Amino acid sequence: MNTDPLISRIADKRDELVALTQALIRIPTINPPGDAYEACAHLLGERLARRGFTVEYVRARGAPGDNDQHPRTNVVARLAGTGGGDCVHFNSHIDVVEPGSGWTTDPFGAEVKQGRVYGRGSCDMKGGLAASVIACEALLESFGRLPGALEISGTVDEESGGYAGVGYLAERGYFSPPRVQHVIIPEPLGVDRICLGHRGVWWAEVETLGRMAHGSMPFLGDSAISHMGAFIHRLEHDLLPRLAQRHTAEPVEPPGARVSTLNINSLHGGQREQSYRSDDAGRPAGDLPAPMVPHSCRAVLDRRYIAEENFSDVKQEVTALLDELTRTRPGFAYQLRDIMSFVPTATPKDAPVVVATARAIARVLGREAAYIASPGTYDQKHIVRTGRLQDCIAYGPGILALAHQPDEYVEIQALLDSAGVMALAALELTQAP
């Protein structure tokens, strides 16, 4: 099959691809709280409906975060095939993180300069979403309907775990055979890199318990914060050095993440946080704290583990530290609550979607694909675990390090190159055997 006309058709769509990326960026789908999801889902859905796709809007009623003010509205568009081929699904999240400070352009202005489109979400991942749409439209214009179906979804809340987005859809069969066989997630991993999966994650809250007393007589109480300090000391001097010794054979990027890691995401102890200060005369002002020995201190642990470890050991080594403190430190008591966990995933290099994408990268860019894995999880976790679909990768334009940064941008050439790769991969995967 001659694919030259397909590639040149995508090159001709440069302005259209930039315009779609801009239109998506200009809808400020900030999460949290989950703004403007409806508007973004409809922009995408109405465009694809005009191309003949069957479009569904799926609101994740009852899912975390869904309410009438911030409806969790996903869009799923499907163009049936002529028969005999597999379905390829392009899944992008439509939410972005808050812009934060430090921008030199309007975060939702989608300014184009120096061959780049700037804006919050340009790289992560509205550029990838736009590239997948242009890829499918170019395929239709070049070949008409393919033997297999094409699907494009815009889903919510990836930045906050994806439970109302891909998680919700996966529970309802949207990411399972026989409906779909191959999934490409255009996250910003770079135009010549195929992301096979991610490390495992376990979030848990540790609470240390104490006994309240008056802050002027701390010897009458027992400080939960001091107990937490003892636990953190053990983490830093015992567990973290051990984790740093555990290297994975998976090609995790950046290489610093090719070990096991643990971060303390937050720490809260004692009274609720209050705002107080001294006024100009040096007198205390604002909500003043009361003198209390804290009876509770809570820390959220963010443990990322490698494919060579297993989840029960990961959890066991933290509880072993806590249990040892219970035995050896007078008054030490704790509670441990799981928040969430996902096991590591890795799609095999010889899986169909990997092989087709690697071939397309070689064709479009003239160089070999690189294989990587992600330090953090993304929506692939729901597709593999809940959808039970293993043939899934992340592949898309943009530089990962720019995600969530001020002055985030995506290069227009990367948009075009990745659209070409996605189109060629989908063309191959949708053919009848």
Q: Which residues are catalytic?
A: 95, 158
**∠ CA(79), CA(81), CA(84), 5° rounding?**
155
Asked if residue 165 lies in contact with residue 60, where contact means CB atoms within 8 angstroms, the answer is yes
Dist. CA 432–CA 339, nearest whole Å? 44
In the DSSP assignment, the letter for residue 49 is H
Nearer to Zn ion, 97 or 225 (CB): 97
Least distance in angstroms from the C-beta of 133 to Zn ion: 17
Please report, to the nearest 10 degrees, the dihedral formed by the alpha carbons of residues 244, 203, 155, 369 taken in order. 10
Look up residue 148 and give its DSSP letter.
Answer: S
Nearer to Zn ion, 141 or 302 (CB): 302
Query: How far is the C-alpha of 118 from the C-alpha of 126, rounded, in Å?
Result: 11
Interface ranges with Zn ion (CB under 5 A): 124-125, 187
- For residues 390 and 176, the answer to whether their CB atoms sit within 8 Å is no
> Smallest distance, Å, CB 294 to Zn ion?
38
Q: How far is the CB of 121 from Zn ion (least distance, A)?
A: 9
Choice between 146 and 195, CB closer to Zn ion: 195
| Sequence-ordered list of residues with C-beta below 8 angstroms from that of 333, at least 6 positions apart, any chain | 208, 209, 227, 326
> What does each C-alpha distance from 44 to 57, 130, 241, 357 come to in angstroms?
11, 9, 48, 24
Residue 373: closest CA among 244, 201, 194, 247: 194
Specify the residue, 124 or 309, whose C-beta has the smaller distance to Zn ion. Answer: 124
Q: How far apart are CA 411 and CA 28, in angstroms?
A: 20
Q: Closest Cα to residue 76, out of 95, 97, 94, 64?
A: 94
Reference 158, options 77, 99, 74, 76; nearest CA is 74
Contact 13, 138 (CB under 8 A): yes
Nearer to Zn ion, 81 or 121 (CB): 121
Which single residue brings its beta carbon nearest to Zn ion?
Answer: 124
Q: Provide, rounded to whole angstroms, the least separation between the CB of residue 135 and Zn ion.
A: 18
Q: How far is the CB of 288 from Zn ion (least distance, A)?
A: 42
Structure tokens at 211: 């006994």
| Nearer CB in complex with Zn ion: 110/318 | 110
Give the span between the Cα atoms of 17 and 403, in whole angstroms: 20
Q: By C-beta, is 158 or 192 nearer to Zn ion?
A: 158
CB of 255 to Zn ion, least distance (A): 21
200: how many CB neighbours lie within 10 A of its CB?
A: 22
Of 137 and 187, the one with the shorter C-beta distance to Zn ion is 187
- For the CB of residue 379, give the shortest distance to Zn ion in the complex, in Å: 8
Q: How far is Cα 316 from Cα 181, in angstroms, rounded to an integer?
A: 37
- Rounded least distance, CB 360 to Zn ion, Å: 21
Single out the residue of 4, 25, 77, 87 nearest to residue 47, CA to CA: 77
> Could you tell me which residues are beta bridge partners of residue 58?
74
